[in-house]
């Protein structure tokens, strides 16, 4: 196990720095009730957001359920756990479940999509404590900000990092030169994980660590690519740029995409065109590298694009934030669309007892015509969300409206006392669905009972 993992803080009082964030978390948990807004911990990577959430749960004797915001399955799990108000102790004796929702930034740009919107709604109405984690607060959808309480985590000071490194050296029985620890802490740029990884890489298997041993840069990859792009636009020296690119773990084609995605930071068109020209030139080298499998050419690609874009940017720096390549977001959207489609085929296939292949090849158009005619009915029967309905009717605003109205109707039905429902008529299967499992209830009749006609 690497040292960052081995020495992860177990209790809040072991978390280094960020004392006001820690206090805010503790007070939130101490007074927690379902009316409290979920927390959103934000700040750069490696400074203790995830560790603090786990330490808090440990101190409160809460269980942790960690979910990824962009995972397709998250919505269903959230619905089940966040909807249950049970405070009875679970098998482990824990009184509550802390739902930890990582990568909340990934809801960005898709907050209007049915799935993400549903997640935001579930979060707002949760009966269990929820903590979200994000790197960039400003990039979060405003709907999410409206229903959460922000907790800012700041990069750590080198002087707070050194004592932690010293403790680890002592625990591992390595005699560490204070100058070596100071050097690591300075290089880590406020990132404790990076510092611990650097220490691990330099000291593992040794009895003594000297300042001269600190060569390996194992700083977090994500922050290094940001640093590189920032350095290019800030007009840092050529030698610095070429050194930084060697530290980045990304290949030149990825670096090229990052630079391209940020060329808009160059304000005037002629300079921006020069930036594009150097990227095009670098692209030729990258292409030839792969054609000939001659990786020496990568060096030329790096030099041409870094120095070329730096010259075009003229040291004017970036206006606003450094963004990941927009094409990644597009690829992400296509991937999500594919996942929505696959999930829908799977469900329809099980509900209608039609093999997925046959659904794809022959039935989908026919079903679409039926859904198109009576969308609200099939939203209920198939348990469709807005994205799924949109696959049938190809009309996003209408899909969102129909799903919203169906949800409203369902809420009304839930509120009405069972005796009044349907005025004494025989209950439909959907109304018999177990109430403690909203996922099942929402899906309507059990598999096999949904009918197309
Ligand atoms: N403030 C801190 N105090 C003590 N250890 C820390 C601190 N911050 C980070 N670490 C160490 O670094 C590792 C990674 O930290 P953690 O996962 O909490 O970072 P994070 O801020 O959640 O980063 P990410 O956004 O990448 O998930 C932990 O296992 C822990 O060992």
The DSSP-derived string for 310-327 is HHHHTT---SS-----HH
- Ligand-binding annotation for 92, yes or no, is no
Please tell me the class of the 3-152 domain. Answer: alpha beta
Q: Whose CA is closest to atom 30 on ligand 1?
A: 8
C-alpha to C-alpha distances, 401 to 378, 380, 385, 406, nearest whole angstrom: 14, 14, 11, 9
Question: How many CA atoms are closer than 13 Å to the CA of 192, on its beta-carbon side?
Answer: 32
pLDDT at 30: 94
Section 155-175 average pLDDT: 94
pLDDT at 92: 54
pLDDT at 90: 52
What separation in Å is there between the alpha carbon of 53 and the centre of ligand 1? 10
Which pLDDT band, with edges at 50, 70 and 90, does 449 fall under?
Answer: very low
Section 325-348 average pLDDT: 80
- Ligand-binding annotation for 448, yes or no, is no
To test the pocket of ligand 1, the residue of 6, 8, 172 to mutate (highest count of ligand atoms within 8 Å of its CB) is: 8
Q: Please determine, for residue 299, whether its predicted confidence score (pLDDT) is greater than 70.
A: yes
Which pLDDT band, with edges at 50, 70 and 90, does 259 fall under?
Answer: very high
To test the pocket of ligand 1, the residue of 184, 192, 198 to mutate (highest count of ligand atoms within 8 Å of its CB) is: 192
pLDDT at 132: 93
Outline where DSSP puts E strands in 110-206.
130-134, 149-152, 175-176
Q: Please determine, for residue 250, whether its predicted confidence score (pLDDT) is greater than 50.
A: yes
Confidence (pTM): 0.54
Pocket of ligand 1 (CB under 6 A): 4-5, 7-9, 15-17, 45-51, 135, 164, 192-193, 196
Q: Whose CA is closest to atom 6 on ligand 1?
A: 48
Please tell me the class of the 158-213 domain. Answer: mainly alpha
Section 366-391 average pLDDT: 89
Which pLDDT band, with edges at 50, 70 and 90, does 213 fall under?
Answer: confident
- Ligand-binding annotation for 44, yes or no, is yes
What separation in Å is there between the alpha carbon of 372 and the centre of ligand 1? 49
């Amino acid at each position: 196990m690497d040292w960052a993992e081995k020495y992860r803080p177990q209790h809040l009082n072991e978390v280094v720095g960020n004392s006001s964030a820690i206090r805010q978390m503790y007070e939130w948990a101490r007074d927690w009730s379902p009316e409290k807004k979920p927390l959103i911990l934000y700040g750069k990577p490696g400074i203790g957001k995830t560790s603090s959430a786990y330490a808090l749960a440990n101190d409160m004797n809460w269980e942790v359920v960690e979910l990824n915001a962009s995972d397709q399955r998250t919505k269903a799990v959230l619905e089940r756990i966040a909807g249950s108000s049970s405070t009875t102790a679970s098998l482990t004796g824990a009184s509550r479940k802390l739902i930890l929702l990582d990568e909340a930034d990934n809801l960005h740009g898709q907050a209007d999509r049915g799935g993400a919107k549903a997640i935001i709604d579930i979060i707002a109405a949760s009966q269990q404590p929820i903590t979200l984690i994000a790197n960039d607060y400003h990039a979060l959808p405003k709907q999410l900000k409206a229903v959460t309480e922000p907790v800012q985590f700041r990069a750590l000071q080198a002087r707070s990092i050194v004592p932690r490194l010293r403790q680890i050296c002592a625990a591992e029985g390595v005699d560490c030169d204070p100058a070596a620890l100071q050097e690591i802490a300075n290089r880590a740029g406020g990132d404790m994980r990076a510092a611990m990884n650097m220490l691990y890489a330099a000291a593992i298997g040794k009895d003594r660590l000297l300042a001269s041993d600190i060569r390996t840069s194992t700083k977090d990859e994500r922050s290094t690519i940001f640093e590189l792009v920032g350095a290019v636009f800030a007009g840092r020296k050529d030698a610095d740029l070429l050194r930084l690119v060697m530290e980045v773990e990304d290949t030149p084609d990825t670096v090229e995409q990052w630079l391209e995605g940020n060329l808009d930071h160059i304000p005037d068109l002629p300079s921006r065109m020069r930036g594009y020209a150097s990227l095009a030139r670098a692209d030729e080298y990258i292409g030839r590298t792969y054609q000939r499998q001659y990786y020496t050419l990568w060096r030329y690609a790096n030099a041409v694009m870094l120095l070329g874009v730096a010259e075009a940017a003229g040291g004017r720096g970036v206006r606003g934030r450094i963004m990941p390549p927009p094409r990644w977001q597009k690829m992400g959207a296509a991937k999500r669309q594919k996942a929505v489609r696959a999930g829908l085929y799977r469900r329809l296939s099980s509900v209608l007892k039609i093999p997925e292949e046959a659904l794809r090849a022959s039935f989908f158009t026919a079903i679409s015509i039926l859904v198109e005619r009576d969308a609200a009915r099939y939203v209920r029967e198939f348990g469709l969300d807005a994205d799924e309905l949109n696959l049938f009717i190809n009309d996003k605003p209408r899909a969102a409206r129909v799903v919203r109205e169906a949800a409203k109707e369902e809420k009304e039905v839930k509120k009405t006392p069972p005796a009044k429902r349907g005025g004494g008529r025989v209950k439909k299967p959907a109304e018999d669905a177990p109430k403690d499992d909203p996922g099942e209830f929402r899906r309507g009749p059990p598999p096999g009972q949904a009918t197309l006609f």
